[in-house]
Structure 1
Amino acid sequence: MLVSWPIVFFIFIVVSLISSIFLLSSKVPLDYVRIHIGVISVPPILALCALIFQKEHLIWGPWQFNTLSWLLAVFVLTMGLIVQRYCVHFLLGDRSYRKYFSLLTLTTTAGSLAWLSADLRLLLICWGTTLLGLTLIIRLKKEWIVAKRAAVTMGRLFTFSWLVLLAVVLWLSQATGHWQLSQVMTEESLAGFASWEKTIINLLLVLSVLIPAGQWPFQRWLLDSAVAPTPISAVMHAGIVNAGGILLTLFAPLFSASLAQIPLLILSGISVLIGTGIMLVQVDYKRQLVGSTIAQMGFMLIQCALGAYVAAIIHAILHGLFKSTLFLQAGSAIQHGHAKKKSKESTSFIAKGSGLIVGIIAGIGYWSTSPEEAYTLISSIILGCSVTLAWLQLIVYGQGRIGRIAGFILFVAGAIIYSLVHSGFHRLLHETIVSGIQPSVPAIPFLLIILLIGSLIGLGLAQKGSFKGRTMLYLWLVKLGEPNEDVVESHPKFLTQYMSQGGNK
Structure 2
Amino acid sequence: MMIVINTNALLALLFITLIVSILSSLFFLIKKITPKYARIHIYFVALPALVACLGLIFSQKNVEVGVWRSDVLSWLMAGFVLVIGLVIQRYCIRYLAGDKSYKKYFTLFTFTTTFAALAWLTADMRIMVVCWGITLLGLTLLIRLTNAWQVTRIAAKVTAKLFLLSWVALLLGVLWIGILTGEWHYSTALDETHLSIISSWGQFGVNLLIVLAVMIPAAQWPFQRWLIESVAAPTPVSAIMHAGIVNAGGIMLTKFSPIFSGDIAAIILLFFASVSVLLGAGISLIHVDYKRLLVGSTIGQMGFMLIQCALGAYVPAIIHLILHGLFKATLFLRSGSAVRHFSVPSRANERMSYVWIVSGRILAIVIGLGFWLSAPEEGYRLVSGLILAWSLSVSWTQLVAFGEGRLGRVVGLTVLIVVGGVYFLVHHYFADALYTMTLHSAQPPTIIVILVALILLLGSLISTWVAHNRSTVAFSILYMWIVRLGDAKAETVERHPNYLKTYLSKGGR
TM class, shorter-length? over 0.9
The equivalent residue for 2:3 is none
The equivalent residue for 2:363 is 358
The equivalent residue for 1:261 is 266
Task: Report the Cα distance in structure 2 between the residues aligned to 1:74 and 1:47, rounded to whole angstroms.
Answer: 5
Task: Report the Cα distance in structure 2 between the residues aligned to 1:81 and 1:300, rounded to whole angstroms.
Answer: 25
The equivalent residue for 1:420 is 425
- What is the deviation of 1:412? 2.0
- What is the deviation of 1:429? 0.5
The equivalent residue for 1:88 is 93
The equivalent residue for 1:297 is 302
Is it true that 1:381 corresponds to 2:386 in the alignment?
Answer: yes
CA distance 1:225–1:334, change in 2 (3 Å): same
- What is the deviation of 1:348? 5.6
Q: Where do residues 272-311 of structure 1 align in structure 2 (5 Å cutoff)?
A: 272-311=277-316
| CA shift digits 1:32-64 (9 cap, x unpaired) | 101111111121121111111224222111111
- The answer as to whether partners of 1:461 and 1:474 remain within 8 angstroms in 2 is no
DSSP-derived class of the 1:129 partner: helix
* Paired amino acid for 1:191: S
Runs of 4+ off more than 4 Å: 339-344
- What is the deviation of 1:8? 1.3
Task: Report the Cα distance in structure 1 between the residues aligned to 2:271 and 2:357, rounded to whole angstroms.
Answer: 34
- What is the deviation of 1:349? 4.8
Task: Report the Cα distance in structure 1 between the residues aligned to 2:221 and 2:499, rounded to whole angstroms.
Answer: 32
* Paired amino acid for 1:362: I
- What is the deviation of 1:408? 2.8
Task: Report the Cα distance in structure 1 between the residues aligned to 2:115 and 2:7, rounded to whole angstroms.
Answer: 23
List runs of 5+ in structure 2 lacking aligned partners: 1-5
Is it true that 1:336 corresponds to 2:367 in the alignment?
Answer: no
- What is the deviation of 1:161? 1.0
Q: Where do residues 196-275 of structure 1 align in structure 2 (5 Å cutoff)?
A: 196-275=201-280
Aligned residues: 504
Task: Report the Cα distance in structure 1 between the residues aligned to 2:348 and 2:131, rounded to whole angstroms.
Answer: 53
Which of residues 38, 51, 59 is equivalent to 1:54?
59
Is it true that 1:107 corresponds to 2:109 in the alignment?
Answer: no
The equivalent residue for 2:486 is 481
Q: Given the two structures, how large is their TM-score scaled by the length of structure 1? A: 0.95
- The answer as to whether partners of 2:82 and 2:114 remain within 8 angstroms in 1 is yes
* Paired amino acid for 1:239: G
List runs of 5+ in structure 1 lacking aligned partners: none
DSSP-derived class of the 2:97 partner: coil
Task: Report the Cα distance in structure 1 between the residues aligned to 2:108 and 2:348, rounded to whole angstroms.
Answer: 49
Which of residues 404, 408, 411 is equivalent to 1:406?
411
- What is the deviation of 1:251? 0.3
- What is the deviation of 1:502? 3.0
Task: Report the Cα distance in structure 2 between the residues aligned to 1:110 and 1:383, rounded to whole angstroms.
Answer: 34
Q: Given the two structures, how large is their TM-score scaled by the length of structure 2? A: 0.95
Task: Report the Cα distance in structure 1 between the residues aligned to 2:75 and 2:364, rounded to whole angstroms.
Answer: 35
| CA shift digits 1:311-369 (9 cap, x unpaired) | 11111111111111111122222121126556751416543333133223322332243
The equivalent residue for 1:171 is 176
- The answer as to whether partners of 2:284 and 2:293 remain within 8 angstroms in 1 is yes
CA distance 1:178–1:421, change in 2 (3 Å): same
The equivalent residue for 1:124 is 129
DSSP-derived class of the 1:499 partner: helix
DSSP-derived class of the 1:255 partner: coil
- What is the deviation of 1:431? 2.1
Root-mean-square deviation over aligned CA pairs = 1.9
Task: Report the Cα distance in structure 2 between the residues aligned to 1:264 and 1:317, rounded to whole angstroms.
Answer: 21
Percent of matched pairs sharing the same residue: 49
Task: Report the Cα distance in structure 2 between the residues aligned to 1:154 and 1:344, rounded to whole angstroms.
Answer: 48
* Paired amino acid for 1:438: Q
The equivalent residue for 1:7 is 12
